């Protein structure tokens, strides 16, 4: 019988060795040996499913992949050395020259840069739809369109996209739906349940949750993953066994960590809503979020990211960041340590003013990745920083 999410996250393990270890060992090996000539031939002919070389597969990556597949309800997956390696390899394995992608406008900065700076070289085109206008999608679909691509919640605006609606459009037009589920984690949202074909994660964020590693994974339909596997075993973006081991251990505590992240984030969002120096606050599980009902339908809780606007724009924003004591000024998210970021001057500074406006990034916008410190200390630091900048 299928076990519950938390149990699968803990009990999915590769086979024990003769030592009967309780926690899976780390297989720091680049290759694996064959018993004889026939074993070698049959392994390479893929008549046998076994480890050959760690660029193709490794027991630690296999354990990590199997866990994420169970968590996301996916048939198969491949693990990558970073979230961007997963994003790039998924596109590279599935798209050809002349193909076209319809993507949400609000996507991770480096994914946007792939579309705009590199894909034109390989004659892969993209069109963006505005996140609040999914009805634009059908108008953008052409005969060469192979894929709809989106993230939900988005970064840094924490807007919610209707995954079931995206999936209906993809099915109707016979194209793939690929979702970057990094902000939600499989614990809060499983896009395959709503009809996505593939789900991508940056394991660097909440999956590891402790800011130690870069990692990525793509899971979903078996035939599509096979194409991604065949590309990746040659191109070589594979996850290292050590990082795979860390990730697999981190997933054992994903549910309890993410529960606390969400509890703290909601408390921080509620505090910000009452503060006079704050223009607006956005968090998927705040009643004031424009897609609160949709968020409730798709997600178990709101995630770790809260965004808000400081009154007084850029100047007040600089004062706020300089006054922060406990929280970290950093570009990451999904860490046990709370992090504050200023998208307009960091992650989204390469965008023009009008591009920034289109993605809803204003000068005074702050993104907080709410961590696992005691929530009172997080709020105390935010309160004193808000007080000192206005």
Ligand X SMILES: *Cc1c(COP(=O)(O)O)cnc(C)c1O
Site residues for ligand X per CB under 6 A = 82-84, 87, 108, 151, 155, 180, 182-183, 202, 204-205, 214, 216
Residue 374 CB neighbour total at 10 angstroms: 9
The residue (of 83 and 186) whose beta carbon lies closer to ligand X is 83
Cα(70)–Cα(83) distance, integer angstroms:
19
The distance of closest approach from Cβ of residue 81 to ligand X in the complex, given in angstroms and rounded to an integer, is: 8
List of E strands, 257-330: 278-282, 305-310, 328-329
The residue (of 87 and 265) whose beta carbon lies closer to ligand X is 87
The distance of closest approach from Cβ of residue 296 to ligand X in the complex, given in angstroms and rounded to an integer, is: 21
**Nearest residue to ligand X, using CB?**
83
The distance of closest approach from Cβ of residue 383 to ligand X in the complex, given in angstroms and rounded to an integer, is: 27
The residue (of 92 and 278) whose beta carbon lies closer to ligand X is 92
The distance of closest approach from Cβ of residue 184 to ligand X in the complex, given in angstroms and rounded to an integer, is: 10
User: Which long-range contacts (C-beta less than 8 Å, at least 24 apart) are formed by 327-334?
Assistant: 327/368, 327/378, 327/381, 327/382, 332/204, 332/205, 332/211, 332/369, 333/155, 333/205, 333/304, 333/305, 333/367, 333/369, 334/182, 334/204, 334/205, 334/206, 334/207, 334/208, 334/209, 334/261, 334/304, 334/369
The residue (of 147 and 389) whose beta carbon lies closer to ligand X is 147
Residue 314 CB neighbour total at 10 angstroms: 14
The residue (of 113 and 345) whose beta carbon lies closer to ligand X is 113
The distance of closest approach from Cβ of residue 153 to ligand X in the complex, given in angstroms and rounded to an integer, is: 9
Q: How far is CA 174 from the centre of its chain?
A: 25
Alpha carbon of 270 to those of 161, 300, 320: distances in Å? 23, 18, 19
The distance of closest approach from Cβ of residue 98 to ligand X in the complex, given in angstroms and rounded to an integer, is: 26
Give the dihedral sign, CA 98/102/108/112: positive
The residue (of 247 and 278) whose beta carbon lies closer to ligand X is 247
The distance of closest approach from Cβ of residue 216 to ligand X in the complex, given in angstroms and rounded to an integer, is: 5
Q: How far is CA 331 from the centre of its chain?
A: 15
The residue (of 87 and 228) whose beta carbon lies closer to ligand X is 87
Contact between 382 and 272 under an 8 Å Cβ cutoff? The reply is yes
């Amino acid at each position: 019988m299928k076990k519950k999410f938390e149990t699968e996250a803990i009990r999915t393990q590769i086979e024990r060795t003769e030592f009967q270890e309780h926690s899976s060992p780390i297989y720091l090996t680049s290759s694996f040996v064959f018993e004889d000539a026939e074993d070698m031939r049959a392994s390479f002919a893929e008549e046998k499913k076994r480890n050959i070389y760690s660029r193709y597969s490794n027991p630690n990556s296999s354990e990590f992949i199997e866990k994420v597949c169970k968590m996301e309800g996916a048939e198969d997956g491949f693990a990558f050395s970073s979230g961007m390696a997963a994003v790039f390899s998924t596109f590279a394995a599935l798209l050809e020259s002349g193909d076209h992608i319809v993507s949400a406008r609000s996507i991770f900065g480096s994914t946007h840069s792939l579309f705009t700076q590199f894909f034109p070289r390989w004659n892969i085109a993209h069109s963006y739809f505005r996140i609040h206008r999914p009805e634009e999608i059908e108008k953008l679909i052409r005969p060469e369109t192979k894929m709809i691509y989106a993230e939900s919640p988005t970064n840094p605006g924490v807007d919610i996209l209707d995954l079931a609606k995206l999936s209906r459009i993809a099915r109707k037009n016979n194209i793939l739906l690929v979702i970057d589920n990094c902000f939600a984690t499989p614990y809060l949202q499983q896009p395959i349940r709503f009809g996505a074909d593939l789900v991508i994660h940056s394991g660097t964020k909440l999956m590891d949750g402790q800011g130690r590693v870069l990692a990525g994974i793509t899971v979903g339909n078996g035939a599509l993953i096979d194409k991604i596997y065949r590309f990746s075993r040659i191109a070589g973006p594979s996850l290292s066994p050590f990082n795979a081991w860390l990730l697999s251990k981190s997933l054992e505590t994903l549910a309890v960590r993410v529960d606390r992240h969400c509890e703290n984030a909601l408390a921080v969002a509620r505090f910000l809503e009452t503060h006079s120096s704050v223009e607006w606050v956005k968090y998927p599980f705040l009643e004031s979020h424009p897609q609160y009902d949709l968020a409730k339908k798709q997600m178990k809780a709101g995630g770790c990211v809260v965004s808000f606007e400081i009154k007084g724009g850029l100047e007040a924003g600089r004062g706020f960041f300089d006054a922060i004591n406990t929280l970290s000024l950093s570009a990451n998210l999904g860490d046990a340590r709370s992090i504050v970021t200023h998208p307009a001057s960091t992650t989204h500074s390469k965008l023009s003013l009008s591009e920034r406006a289109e993605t809803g990034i204003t000068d005074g916008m702050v993104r907080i990745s709410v961590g696992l410190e005691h929530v009172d200390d997080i709020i105390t630091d935010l309160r004193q920083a808000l007080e000192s900048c206005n």
